[in-house]
Amino acid sequence: MSKHREQHRKKENQKQRSRWLIILGVVVMVVAIGLWFRFSNIPGAGGNARPISRLSTADFHSLAFSITEPDTIFFGHHGGLMVSRNGGKDWQPTTLQNADAMALALPISNPQLMYAAGHDVFYKSTNGGQSWQPMATNLPGMDIHGFTADPDNPNTVYANIAGFGFFSSQDGGAIWKQLSSIASHSNLAMGEDAQTLYAATGQAGLLRSADGGQTWAKVENILDEGAMAVAYAPTSKRLYITTLGSAAGLYVSNDNGKSWVALGLTGKIMRLQSARLTPVISLQSTTRARFLPAVMTALHGTVGRKMVTNAS
């Protein structure tokens, strides 16, 4: 009888050890998964960018998020403006067609207001992009290569006109005043306050203005050969740029450009844009000068979440 009891006790002990091993394995797995998410989503870790759709357009010039609908994304190309209502999975043309939209601006303080500017293009929408009206201006030229709007005062807008210089308007784009002269091909972004502007000027690098665009100074300590695009994320107070040269890619600064950290996304990235929920999307080109992809960056600065590529 005692022999049977001993065998039963051994079997119970083995079952108990097995249960503890299973529990320990589950705990280790949970910890491992947590650590993977923690360290795969820090700046410089490369993130988890993934393609979510393919576009048939031959180029990809501008990008913007709806202020009130984070899954609504606009992008401009040589043929006009397209929109996605489901985070980039599906795209449809908007009513703004046959217009080369080089830049888009959606001021946070007026969610229904949108600006589209580009080659002989300056349009305004007051209903979230459903319809567009051309704007009459006193600008000396209409080849607008850079454009941005003050997020707190939607009637204050800035434009860089090829061959003429940098201009500002206080009435939503009707009357303009020239402030300074910077490189014609400049991607513009508002900074940490109403007087701070950034301009990514290609080979000339990243410029910063602390007086509303009247004067500019080069931002030093960039790790490569010029700046292609710039975006400022007001929620995280981070400055993002994309660079040129042998180490071209996406970089972030937590101190307004004094130091930079590579985010693990390399290549020639054409545009960046900030959003309220996922602050950065970039547009990257292939070595054949086609435009590939849009990559969102999460609030804490990790590269990833979503990517939009063209058909090539």
- State the pLDDT at residue 179: 94
Q: Give the per-residue pLDDT at 169.
A: 96
pLDDT tens for 30-64 read 333 333 333 333 333 344 455 566 667 767 788 88
pLDDT digits (tens, 9 = 90+) for 113-124: 999 999 999 999
Query: Which pLDDT belongs to residue 171?
Result: 95
255-311 pLDDT, tens digit each:
988 899 887 777 777 777 766 544 344 555 433 322 233 443 322 232 333 333 333
pLDDT averaged over every residue in the chain? 75
pLDDT in tens, 226-242: 888 898 887 778 888 88
Residue 16 has a pLDDT of: 62
Of the candidates 135, 206, 134, the residue with the CA atom closest to the CA atom of residue 176: 135
Q: Give the closest residue to 46 by CA, choosing from 310, 283, 301, 238.
A: 301
pLDDT of residue 298: 29
The arrangement of strands across the sheet holding 249-253 comes to 227-233, 238-243, 249-253, 261-266
Average of per-residue pLDDT across 121-135: 95
Q: Which residues contact 47 (CB under 8 A, 6 or more apart)?
A: 40, 41, 263, 264, 265, 297, 298, 302, 303, 304, 305
d(Cα 87, Cα 143) in Å, to the nearest integer? 30
3-state secondary structure the chain: CHHHHHHHHHHHHHHHHHHHHHHHHHHHHHHHHHHHHHHHCCCCCCCCCCEEEEECCCCCCEEEECCCCCCCEEEEECCEEEEECCCCCCCEEEEEECCEEEEEECCCCCCCCEEEEEECEEEEECCCCCCCEECCCCCCCCEEEEEEECCCCCCCEEEEECCCEEEEECCCCCCEEEEECCCCCCEEEECCCCCCEEEECECCCEEEECCCCCCCEECCCCCCCCEEEEEEECCCCEEEEEECCCCCEEEEECCCCCCCEEEEEECEEEEEECCCCCCEEEEEECCCCCEEEEEEECCCCCEEEEEEEECC
Per-residue pLDDT tens digits for 139-165 = 999 999 899 999 889 999 999 999 899
Can you give the pTM of this predicted structure?
0.74
Edge to edge, the sheet with strand 197-200 lists 187-190, 197-200, 206-209, 217-218
Work out the pLDDT band at 109, boundaries 50, 70, 90: confident
pLDDT score, position 50: 56
Q: What pLDDT was estimated at residue 193?
A: 87
Q: Which residues make Cβ contacts (< 8 Å) with residue 146, sequence separation at least 6? A: 103, 158, 159, 160, 185, 186, 187, 188, 199
